[in-house]
Amino acid sequence: MSLMSRKQSANESGLRDQAIGMARQAIPAAKNAGAIAAQQAVPLARNAGTSMKAGADGAAAWATPYANAARTWAAPQLEQAATAVSEKLAPMISEALIAAAQKIDVEQPKRRRLSKPVVLVGSLVLTAAGAAAAMQLMNRNGNGNGYSAAMPASDTTEGYEPANGDIPDPDSDGYPPIT
């Protein structure tokens, strides 16, 4: 048959009808097969959970001794590594850090300190100067007893007359009030 023609031969139309008939028969068979498969899958699915749990328990029981053996081996190895780091590596790192800090540190200028004899002589000179100044002040004020000639010999207020009728306060030792 040519692709350009629209007429079908009798042979081809029979094949078509035969395919349609087979498809109509296959649909109920497929439905029945799906139902049968679903009925069989439900018990298998129920058993699958139990089977998986049993398999996992078996795998854990098998792996536990190997995991414990690995942990038994690894614990001393980790402890030995920690000891090596703290005894050998850490001091080397510490020394390297100290050396680097010393290289980058700015040197402080040294402070000039006075020697003990210089400090002793200086303090003696200052003490002598202070004593001389005190003696000069005492001699300037009078008898050398340290009291000023301007100070009254007693604390009485003889000869004081209050201005404007002010009466001195008895707590002020007879001195006039400050205004």
Counting Cα atoms < 13 Å in the Cβ hemisphere of 61 gives: 6
Could you tell me if 138 and 146 are in contact, meaning their C-beta atoms sit under 8 angstroms apart? Answer: yes
Q: What is the pLDDT of residues 131-155, one digit of tens each?
A: 999 988 888 876 555 444 455 555 5
pTM of the model: 0.30
Token pair for residue 41?
A: 């899958």
Least confident of 108-112, 119-123, 165-169: 165-169
Joined together, the tokens standing for residue 78 give 């980790």
pLDDT at position 129 over 90: yes
- 10 Å Cβ neighbour count for 102? 8
Structure tokens at 57: 């328990």
